[in-house]
Chain A
Amino acid sequence: MSKYLVNKFLYTVDRDPELVDRYRDDPAGTVDWWERDMANTLLNCLAAERSTWLAFTPEEGRALREHDHVRLFELGAHPFLTLTLFIAMFERDHGPLEYQKAYARAMQHIQLPYPDIAT
């Protein structure tokens, strides 16, 4: 399980307008590129000082490649990060608050206690 890395993906994509559109338009390609080239980047450090051990589980990679926000929630990804990025990608295709409400409807089967988001 690598909740931290899923969160790192959501966080680093969300803060970069170019990456937001790239992930919207080509989710599988963006996730593959990011895991290969970016996942081990230590933020604010030289490229040579990268980490050596970070990788998605197959299920995490699948959820990210398929824009599956419900599965990301079930896997314990930080819900604020997922919501913010998915609003950025998909709100534009909907009327006011339509996307946010549909996002919640897709999760109606999820009961308390929610999955643990601790990293």
Chain B
Amino acid sequence: MATVAAVIASTHHPFYYRASTSTGADRPPFADEWVAKIGAFRATLTRAEPDVLVMVGSDHFHQLWLDNMPQFLVGKAPFFDANWYNEEREFGLPRMRLAGEEELAAHILRQGLDAGFDLAFSNELRIDHSVTCPIITLRPEADLPIVPVYTNIFAPPMPRPERFVQLGRALRQLVESWPSSKRVAIIGTGHLSLELGGPRQFGPHGPDPEFDAKAVAWIANGDVEGCLAEVTLDSLHSPGNATHGFMDFMLMMGAAGDGVQADYTDTLDLFHTMEAYFTWYPDGLPAPARAPEGAAS
């Protein structure tokens, strides 16, 4: 059976690519620290030596729209083109193409349906920055096949937080039951407190630093119970109007396991939002790995 080589949860910040590649007067003052933190975070995936990446994210009204909105969707295709015109326009994100791992996608769909998750699927999915940001930060070579899993954290009505945790637990089991000798990393990205298009956006910190501190502790300690006791669809409006993206972190807590502390935790307090990075090694801490050939230093 396949091995879960790492479970990784992260914020996805579309400004990272431009901040990290800009030079001179265009380079923001926080870029060097951000790049250093991302370098250390990237090493946590590299040392796990994954063969396949399951990528949990959320379409931002790119391919999925209100006339036909799935709650959870698995991409099953040989390739996934990536990034959209409005992401190139606003964030300077590059066009990308990632290979798909169709066998694992088929396994997740079949076994997931049988386990009670009515997963939608797509055979032609153009993925967006919720998946490509962690590729850029964690595996910029973009050389591993992926299985994208999209969640609806964007368009109400949404599934409740409990359902995200349940899907995370199931996803872990589905990967572990895949008849393959491959090493799979499950990577998911979401948000801490976040406001988009409202009065609290683009402040000096995230809109609710108190929520962020609690959220980081829940995730780092694997405190699923404590998190579920406080977080509801209603409560998530209070820290910021786009904070429902935190439910993707909750999905990853489900994948990491109840009560399981993260092996790696880091944060970066930026304007507008706090960055947070977590890695678990369900199979034990791997030896430090060499950087893959051709990796950016």
Contacts and interface: CB of A to CB of B under 8 A. Distances in A.
Contact of A119 (B90, B155, B197): B155
A79 B197 contact: yes
Interface string B214-257: 00000000000000000000000110011000000000000000
A112 B208 CA distance: 13
B29 interface: no
B201 A104 contact: yes
Interface residues of A, number: 38
B200 interface: yes
Interface stretch (B61-69, B181-189, B262-270, B287-295): B61-69
Nearest to A80: B196
B297 interface: no
A75 to B, nearest CB: 13
A112 B237 CA distance: 8
Interface stretch (B4-12, B81-89, B136-144, B170-178): B81-89
A91 B155 CA distance: 25
Interface string A1-43: 0001001100100110100000000000000000000000011
Most A CB contacts (10 A, CB to CB) among B85, B197, B238, B242 go to B197
A27 B273 CA distance: 32
Contact of A80 (B61, B85, B237): B61
Contact of A79 (B84, B198, B202): B198
Contacts of A80: 60-61, 154, 196-197, 242
B156 interface: yes
B197 A73 contact: yes
B237 A117 contact: no
Contacts of A84: 86, 90
Nearest to B154: A80
B284 interface: no
A117 B86 contact: no
B237 A113 contact: yes
Nearest to A17: B85
Q: Classify chain B: how many residues form its interface, as a range.
A: 20 to 34
Nearest to A96: B28
Nearest to B203: A104
B211 to A, nearest CB: 13
B197 A82 contact: yes
Contacts of A79: 196-198, 241-242
Nearest to A98: B202
A114 B242 CA distance: 12
B24 interface: no
A84 B66 CA distance: 17
A103 B86 contact: no
A103 B241 contact: no
Nearest to B199: A107
Contacts of B116: none
A13 to B, nearest CB: 11
A114 B198 contact: yes
Interface of B: 60-62, 65-67, 84-86, 89-90, 154-157, 196-203, 237-238, 241-242
Interface of A: 4, 7-8, 11, 14-15, 17, 42-43, 69, 73, 78-84, 87-88, 91, 97, 100-101, 103-105, 107-110, 112-114, 116-119
Considering the complex of A and B, which 5 residue pairs feature the smallest CB-CB distances, nearest first? A79-B197, A83-B197, A107-B199, A118-B156, A100-B202
28 contacts: A7-B66, A11-B66, A14-B86, A42-B67, A43-B65, A43-B67, A73-B197, A79-B197, A79-B242, A80-B61, A80-B242, A83-B197, A87-B90, A88-B89, A88-B90, A91-B90, A103-B201, A104-B202, A104-B203, A105-B199, A110-B198, A110-B199, A112-B237, A114-B198, A114-B237, A114-B241, A116-B156, A118-B157
